[in-house]
Amino acid sequence: MNKLDLKIDLRRPDLKERFRQTKALRSALDAGGEIDFYDVSYDAIVEVFGKIKKTDFDGISDMAGFFANKQNIIREIIKEHRRRAD
């Protein structure tokens, strides 16, 4: 378990709404066009969880799992936004 997930409520709807409200994601969605997914998702994750340090994780697989989970939620938000825009 990583220390960052213990900081906030991780129920998916709440976390999804937190990401939706981040400046990084709002700016990217409002700008339209191509989104640099990894930069935007990293910035949104840092806005929600704060500065991320390697000591927040027990190992690299723990870090990868942490980011993958959050990036999946952000990817959902982007897809929903694009569907509404079509």
User: What pLDDT is stored for residue 76 in this prediction?
Assistant: 94
Most confident option among 33-42, 50-59, 61-70: 33-42
What pLDDT, in 10s, does the model give residues 5-54?
655 555 667 889 999 999 999 999 999 889 999 999 999 999 999 998 88
Residue type, 58: D
User: What pLDDT is stored for residue 4 in this prediction?
Assistant: 63
Both structure tokens of 54:
């390697």
Is the predicted pLDDT of residue 84 greater than 70, yes or no?
yes
pLDDT band for position 86 (cuts 50, 70, 90): confident
H helices of the chain, in order, are 12-20, 23-31, 37-49, 60-85
Q: Please choose, from the candidates 65, 22, 68, 80, the residue with its C-alpha nearest in 3D space to the C-alpha of residue 46.
A: 22
